[in-house]
Amino acid sequence: METPMYKLAAAACFSALLSTMPVSVSANGQKYQTREHSIVVEKMVGRLKEPWALAFLPGGDMLVTERGGRLLLIDSKKFQKHSVAGVPKVAAGGQGGLLDVAVDPEFATNRTIYLSYSEPGSGGTRGTAVMRARLEAGTGRPALKDARVIFQQQPKVSGGRHFGSRIVVARDGTLFVTLGDRGVRKEAQNLKTHFGKVVRINKDGTVPADNPFKSESNALPEIYSFGHRNPQGATLNPATGRLWTLSHGARGGDEINRPQAGKNYGWPTISYGRHYSGGKIGIGTEAPGMEQPVHYWDPSIAPSGLTFYSGDLFPKWRGNLFAGALKDQLISRLEISNGRVTGEEQILKGQYGRIRDIRQGPNGAIWFVNDKNRGGLFRILPGK
């Protein structure tokens, strides 16, 4: 069982960090030595334009979103790209666009996927939305059918910041969706808006009966937890089924949290960072009724993408948490014990640009996408 969240002083308590440097080049990729494993990083697909998210279909084929609004189906044999028709119109600009993709656990029978994106509104406004659709991929061009918007962040506002957004299918079949504060900081504490929240919905967009605020007149019923800044990573711990999230701080204060129903995670009242101007955020790092992060970074690494490792290819990494980083251009490997972060190793720093998403593949390889105009899809395998 995971222990309650705790406050851990910034990286001073951790074992030494390692910025992995290449040791050799193989025919199939670049070799590196990490603290626990020798690895090879292979570029499997190139010429991606700002890839944002990666998801695996049964059998190993992949879906990749590009922030500009294109969804790609990539076959796992020849790694060819196929553009998917029927993708919703997105408000691409700033940090918005086509964002996350998630595959229904029953995809083999229902062909269902979920997309999050910045949805255009009237007068130049936009907000994070979630669409459900059926993926048809026969002999012709793959396409989304029976598309339906099942969630819309309220209200829509102008501006191009802090959309979130990750989608996680929980073990009970509900969906967690992470939502940024849209740059309107105080609204993360307002239960009458979706800004700075993790919401929980059923697969059809209805509200689960046991949501913490469903019966409260002064709160939106979809809200599961609140006080988040801009969560761009989310995953389930495969050992416990618990949700973990990863959120951008400002100047410092990036956070990993384990959101619980009805709990307040503090933004912008408390934070371990400062405003970009250097000014103080809120009242400090603690306040009654507000939760502490599992882990935080100060200075910020600008994290995005989050996954637990449970495969067989890297046995010494089982149970570890992996996070990508944009500003620091690295992958953070976090050692976890009883729900606590006990060590960190930073790998591939500066080698592959901004790491936007990271996932474990079906056979235990680790995959990531780097977010730039000539971005790519990469695979990490054991070195020999």
* pLDDT reported for residue 20: 63
* Beta strand 375-382 pairing with 366-370: antiparallel
Three-state DSSP at 48 gives strand
* pLDDT reported for residue 17: 46
Residue 244: how many CB atoms within 10 A of its CB? 24
User: What are the domain boundaries of the chain?
Assistant: 11-382
Mean pLDDT in each 10-residue stretch from start to end of the chain (384 residues)? Answer: 38 44 67 96 96 96 98 96 97 96 97 98 96 91 97 96 97 98 97 98 98 97 98 97 97 97 98 93 96 97 97 98 97 96 97 97 97 89 91
* pLDDT reported for residue 374: 81
* pLDDT reported for residue 384: 78
* pLDDT reported for residue 139: 75
- Supply the DSSP string of 314-369, one letter for each residue: SGGGTT-EEEEETTTTEEEEEEEETTEEEEEEEESTTTSS-EEEEEE-TTS-EEEE
Q: State which fold the 11-382 domain adopts.
A: Neuraminidase (2.120.10)
C-alpha–C-alpha distance, residues 93 and 228, integer Å:
22
C-alpha–C-alpha distance, residues 320 and 308, integer Å:
6
Give how far the C-alpha of residue 132 lies from the chain's centroid of Cα atoms, to the nearest Å: 18
- Active site residues per annotation: 162
C-alpha–C-alpha distance, residues 347 and 333, integer Å:
7
C-alpha–C-alpha distance, residues 294 and 342, integer Å:
10
